Amino acid sequence: MDDLEVLKWLFKCSPILELAYKLCNELTDIFEGDYSKSDAKRKINRWKKRVIKSRLSCFNRFLSTLDKRMGGITNYFINWQTSGFVEGFNNKIEVIKRRCYGIPNVKHLFQRIHLDFVDYSLFA
């Protein structure tokens, strides 16, 4: 059974799930579109009204965050930059710190970070 067939089956079993899926994709389409900040804000607000009208509760926390941070979220449309690289970098550092827990020498922690980010070829 391919993904599309699975989705069709799920949607047949749960029309609410289909509605939530479509609303998620609509929001994704907004963020993948080439809009000005003001156009994006209008589109997001229209999307928000459709979500509220749908009476789905699964978006409630997101809508609350959207209300509080709309300006910052729509700043994405100014030059389409995200903090993805920084988030990934911070995550990698956190993983290294967990792996190196208990190492008493901070110098060894920084050596581990250097190895993971630069390359082992320096030590060949």
pLDDT digits (tens, 9 = 90+) for 27-56: 999 999 989 999 999 999 999 999 999 999
Together in a domain, 96 and 60: no
Together in a domain, 88 and 74: no
**H-type helices in 1-124, by residue range?**
3-13, 15-32, 37-54, 60-74, 76-79, 84-99, 106-117
In total, how many domains does the chain have?
2
Together in a domain, 70 and 98: no
Confidence at residue 61, expressed as pLDDT on a 0 to 100 scale: 94
Confidence at residue 53, expressed as pLDDT on a 0 to 100 scale: 95
pLDDT confidence band for 68 (50 / 70 / 90): very high
Domain that holds residue 29: 3-79
pLDDT confidence band for 88 (50 / 70 / 90): confident
Cα–Cα distance between 23 and 47 in angstroms, integer? 8
Confidence at residue 120, expressed as pLDDT on a 0 to 100 scale: 60
What count of other Cβ atoms lies within 10 Å of the Cβ of residue 7? 13
Together in a domain, 51 and 29: yes
Q: Read off the pLDDT of residues 4-34 as tens digits, 9 standing for 90 and up.
A: 888 889 889 889 999 999 999 999 999 999 8
Together in a domain, 46 and 101: no
Together in a domain, 31 and 92: no
